[in-house]
A and B are shown apart, each in its own frame.
Chain A
């Protein structure tokens, strides 16, 4: 299977790999997927007092497209507010990375991950 140059770039030089402190109330964590399906994404965002995402980290177990989708996502969400981040569509990711049809689910997973991270942050703030 031929990967696009952008997928290869993100795969070889993944951006924002790492972990944020889950115990911090300003950190929202989204973990989606399942090992049995071959993809698990963990996306974390750190939100400042103005509701803007100032840092994002990820770790992904999965194919090159899954890794690239989450890496790209961390770049995109930085500097966005929560509503903007949660509005990112999987189709935008798939288009940017030129994902083939069999890999569209990777971009769907990335969309699910940012939505889950935003939700987690909001739950923490609400409690």
Chain B
């Protein structure tokens, strides 16, 4: 027996939904709020308060650009990845509509992409929604097969927010560039965790969010390629900030926080990825011998700290209820208010039952081994308890094939 390690509960294992702000980031942000700090309006050209704020914002722009190896002039500040997705997709569609009105995306994109595409459909655009493979991946071949004469944009996510799989965006970029089609990548989950390089990857637009990488909420960026130049129709009109692409006074403290978060993510990416993969493996090793547990999504091509697991014959919501010590989700935070099974897991070909029985665990910068061990123990207990209560588990143990039963759907 190991000596019991006390951990503080609840344990936060929902880093894909959001992250706490790194203390180093808090520090630089606080210096941009008060009278003594850099509180000025970065657009004020007539005094030193404005100049200092502008300098701070441009420094942050450099830091974010460096994270993805881009030119700082290619970074457009937004309020977050949702706005970045909207600006990229609607901006391209509205600017290039004379060239064509066809857009390609995948069925398991974030709602910020899917809902934006739905809106464009209402405006008369045509959207192809690709089915991912069983591992949750959207491949260059799938994109190639869907490109048409009138296709103007492909929008594919870098890393999926529910299952954590990472797409080959470099490969998709090659296909798109060769076909003369723009590529937008929603990198809200992957940026800062997996290396992205705009010099080598043929990505034209890339959405990022600060709060997924230990920065503050309410701030994000859209990378907009300069060579070859990508044009956008602005969605937010006003004072012409961000070279006319996104008006609105820049939030200095938020941007400085985003910049610092990006700097830390870039410098510590390799060591952090190694540590998180280790924690993920440690967790999986501790639960993988439970009967009928399955990892959803590709095992190798995934974010270092993310794991989505189905526990057959127990229902996800009751599982979360019995895991009160753990802060986890049964999918994305954005859709967990509904009782519908995850559209992402359904698209992977999981039946409703397995989709209902899935949990997302995401480990992060402040997760410890002791927390992972405690979490695994909690999961084992909960699954055991709920299977004791489950008529489906009974039937499975009696050798009944659940697919042969005619259920009264309600």
Report A's interface with B, CB cutoff 8 A: 3, 11, 14, 17, 19, 31-42, 59-64, 66-67, 102, 105, 108-109, 112
Contact = CB atoms under 8 A, between A and B. Distances in A.
A41 B389 CA distance: 10
Contacts of B394: 19, 42, 59
Contacts of A108: 410
Nearest to A8: B321
Contacts of A109: 410
Interface stretch (B51-59, B73-81, B243-251, B351-359): B351-359
B339 interface: yes
B392 A37 contact: no
Contacts of B313: 61
Interface in B305-337: 313-315, 317-318, 321-322
B370 interface: no
Interface stretch (B3-11, B166-174, B192-200, B401-409): B401-409
A66 B315 CA distance: 11
Contact of A11 (B318, B390, B392): B318
Given A33-B408, A39-B410, A60-B390, 10 more contacts: A11-B322, A31-B391, A34-B408, A37-B410, A61-B313, A62-B315, A63-B315, A66-B315, A66-B318, A67-B318
Interface centre among A37, A41, A108 (most CB of B within 10 A): A37
Contacts of A102: 339
Given A14-B389, A17-B389, A38 B409 contact: no
B390 A64 contact: no
Contact of A61 (B352, B391, B410): B391
B209 to A, nearest CB: 26
B40 interface: no
18 contacts: A33-B407, A33-B410, A35-B353, A35-B402, A36-B351, A39-B410, A40-B391, A59-B389, A59-B394, A60-B391, A61-B315, A61-B390, A61-B391, A61-B393, A64-B317, A67-B318, A102-B339, A105-B410
B341 A38 contact: yes
Interface residues of B, number: 25
Interface of B is mostly: helix
Interface centre among B394, B407, B409 (most CB of A within 10 A): B407
A35 B321 contact: no
A96 B94 CA distance: 55
A67 B389 contact: yes
A96 to B, nearest CB: 19
Contact of A35 (B318, B322, B352, B389): B352
Contact of A63 (B321, B391, B408): B321
A42 B395 CA distance: 11
B388 interface: yes
Given A34-B407, A38-B341, A105-B410, A62 B318 contact: yes
A37 B389 contact: no
A40 B392 contact: yes
